[in-house]
Structure 1
């Protein structure tokens, strides 16, 4: 038998062993003996998919204090709204914990221009505006520029549509 045929034979044998194991596990899960996995993050706050870091690990307070996006550090974390938030220093962390409704991005970090159009577009932490003492993130630079020119136009529509759109996002 050639090396290729031996290799193929070995693989098919491995697959033949795995199939019954998977079938048994599926049966145990269906019978309720293995609990279903529960999500540990929420879609109601823009977060990195695999790490669960809110607004991709950027410090939400830094937008107010330094007027620029600053990556948070693992040493300064807090949990809020089903996500892990990172901060550049302990002072920023303490400010956020005391007032998450002030420092957290509005609409959970979703783009208010997209929301005004009926779409949940995740905001990019690098495209932001602080208006009316609130933080807004935008999916694209053009949305940020349009919003900055006329925030009231987009905010009234976004606020009106947000409750319905928020219901479509996983908790």
Structure 2
């Protein structure tokens, strides 16, 4: 049942997302406005409007001026993989699916975000289904998505 709900959601969200948008900008920000630097401290922290910046044409929000400054020193380090879409969905089906910004993983110094709603936690699925294989497949699928 979990997979049916997930794939139904996947279908709906993927049809709502423009193929031309390679960033998940729900709420107008990457990671729904969560602080991408804080993830690297193993924290999911909502950013505040006082600490925002643009990079690569998209908005990022931070929880502190220190994290904003850290981001500005090396922004590409902190950008979520696959434009901030669900890493599991990109790897499994090559589909752009929204995320729950509180569900994440730092793997080999990179940020991966995941869908987690309606009893479906794709981070758990990612971890059970061989994350290395899914990551490689997601990398391949993402290259195709970005080209289109």
TM-score range, shorter chain: 0.7 to 0.9
Quick one: higher RCO (CA 8 Å, sep 6+), 1 or 2? 2
1:43 to 11, 21, 36: 21
Name the counterpart of 1:144. 123
2:95 to 82, 99, 119: 119
Displacement of 1:93 in angstroms is: 0.7
Q: Tell whether 2:147 aligns with 1:163.
A: no
Q: Which residue of the other structure, out of 104, 110, 118, is the alignment partner of 1:128?
A: 104
Query: Which of 142, 154, 159 is the matching residue for 2:134?
Result: 154
In 2, Cα distance between the equivalents of 1:53 and 1:111?
15
> Does 2:32 correspond to 1:53?
no
Alpha carbons 1:96, 1:104 under 8 Å: kept = no
TM-score normalised by the chain length of structure 1: 0.66
Q: TM (normalized to structure 2)?
A: 0.76
Indicate the SS of the match to 1:85.
strand
Number of aligned positions between the proteins? 124
Q: CA deviation at 1:79?
A: 0.1
Structure 2 Cα separation of the partners of residues 60 and 158 of structure 1: 20
The CA deviation string for residues 54-113 of structure 1, in whole angstroms up to 9 with x for no partner, is: 221110011112x12101111111101221111011111111112122111111111121
Q: Which has the larger radius of gyration?
A: 1
Structure 1: segments with no counterpart, 5+ residues: 1-41
What do you get for the CA RMSD once the two structures are aligned? 1.7
Q: Secondary structure at the match of 1:128?
A: strand
For residue 162 of structure 1, report the CA deviation from its aligned partner.
Answer: 0.5
Structure 2 unaligned blocks of 5 or more: 1-19
List structure 1 segments (4+ residues) > 6 angstroms apart after TM superposition.
none
Higher strand share: 2
- Correspondences of 1:101-112 after superposition (within 5 Å): 101-112=76-87
Q: Secondary structure at the match of 2:112?
A: strand
2 CA distance for matches of 1:165 and 1:126? 25
CA contact (8 A) 1:61 1:103 kept: yes
